[in-house]
């Protein structure tokens, strides 16, 4: 069974930074593309960043240049460095296989049966 544990969220002011981490177990981590999703209050979960198993990265238009996704296969961990945070970045952030379009690239994630608890990011002055 796949387990995903997100961490690193918090309450920050506009312009500040956060680094999210997600440890994934029970999966062939190094062979898979990985992504970060955001679910804003009252909204649907949307894919905001993805990284292939060859380190190609794609970002949602609104976060390009501010968010950076990376992975450490030795630690089964994917990261999301978020800089210059905006209030509209507020939401619960989840990691998982990417499915859908992001940054002009389509990802066909097939194993999204399991989700972690997510980590809350709140950007407010």
Span 29-63, pLDDT tens digits: 888 999 999 999 999 999 999 999 999 999 999 99
Whether the pLDDT of residue 109 is over 90: the answer is no
Residue listed under structure tokens 């898979």: 32
Question: First vs last Cα of the chain: how many Å apart?
Answer: 40
> Which spans in the chain are helix H?
none
Nearest to 32 by CA among 98, 115, 103: 98
Q: Which helix (H) or strand (E) holds 80?
A: strand 77-82
Tokens 């460095």 sit on residue: 81
Write out pLDDT tens, residues 54-105: 999 999 999 999 999 999 999 999 999 999 999 999 999 999 999 999 999 9
CA distances from 16 to 6, 19, 55, 74, 113 (A): 20, 11, 26, 29, 33
């Amino acid at each position: 069974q796949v387990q995903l544990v997100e961490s690193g969220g918090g309450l920050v002011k506009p312009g500040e930074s956060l680094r999210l981490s997600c440890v994934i177990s029970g999966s062939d981590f190094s062979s898979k593309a990985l992504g970060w999703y955001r679910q804003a209050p009252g909204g649907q979960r949307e894919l905001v960043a993805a990284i292939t198993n060859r380190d190609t990265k794609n970002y949602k238009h609104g976060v390009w240049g501010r968010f950076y996704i990376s992975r450490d296969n030795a630690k089964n961990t994917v990261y999301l460095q978020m800089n210059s945070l905006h209030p509209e970045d507020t939401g619960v952030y989840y990691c998982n296989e990417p499915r859908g379009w992001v940054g002009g690239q389509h990802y066909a994630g097939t194993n999204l049966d399991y989700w972690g608890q997510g980590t809350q990011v709140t950007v407010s002055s």
